């Protein structure tokens, strides 16, 4: 099976702009979670989508949003970018509810740089 894919891999934006990141989960996986990794805060949970519905949300401002499509692909959007949003954004997919399905498998990430 192909792994989790994320596009684009690298992105440079300026403050105030908005950005959309995309994630395609492993085939058959219905849950997609997003994480932010920064040197200061480590890996932090953003939100999780399952069957096109947001099920869990982390402690991030409303500028961070996401959605999931019927084919389980997911996008996350960050509006009004700030310098502190520079990070590696990771997507993970899983099959909760199935035996062994709680393990999340991560994509390669999108490196966002805000200037």
Partner 1 sequence: DQQVKQNSPSLSVQEGRISILNCDYTNSMFDYFLWYKKYPAEGPTFLISISSIKDKNEDGRFTVFLNKSAKHLSLHIVPSQPGDSAVYFCAASGFQGAQKLVFGQGTRLTINP
Which residues of the shown chain bind partner 1 in the complex (CB under 8 A)? 4, 6, 31, 33, 35, 42-45, 48, 50, 55-56, 58, 88, 90, 92, 94, 96, 102-109, 111
CB of 95 to partner 1, least distance (A): 10
Shortest distance in whole angstroms from residue 70 CB to partner 1? 19
What is the length of the chain?
115
Nearer to partner 1, 38 or 77 (CB): 38
Gyration radius from the chain CA atoms? 14
How do strand 10-13 and strand 110-114 relate by DSSP bridges?
parallel
E-assigned strand segments in 25-63: 31-38, 42-50, 53-57
């Amino acid at each position: 099976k192909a792994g989790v894919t994320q596009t684009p891999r690298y992105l440079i934006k300026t403050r105030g702009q908005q950005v959309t990141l995309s994630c395609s989960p492993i085939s058959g996986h219905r849950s997609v979670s997003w994480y932010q990794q920064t040197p200061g805060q480590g890996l932090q949970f953003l939100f999780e989508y399952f069957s096109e519905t947001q099920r869990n949300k982390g402690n991030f401002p409303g500028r961070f949003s996401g959605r999931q499509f019927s084919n389980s692909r997911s996008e996350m959007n960050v509006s009004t970018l700030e310098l502190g949003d520079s990070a590696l954004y990771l997507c993970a997919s899983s099959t909760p509810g199935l035996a062994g399905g709680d393990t999340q498998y991560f994509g390669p990430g999108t490196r966002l740089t805000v200037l």
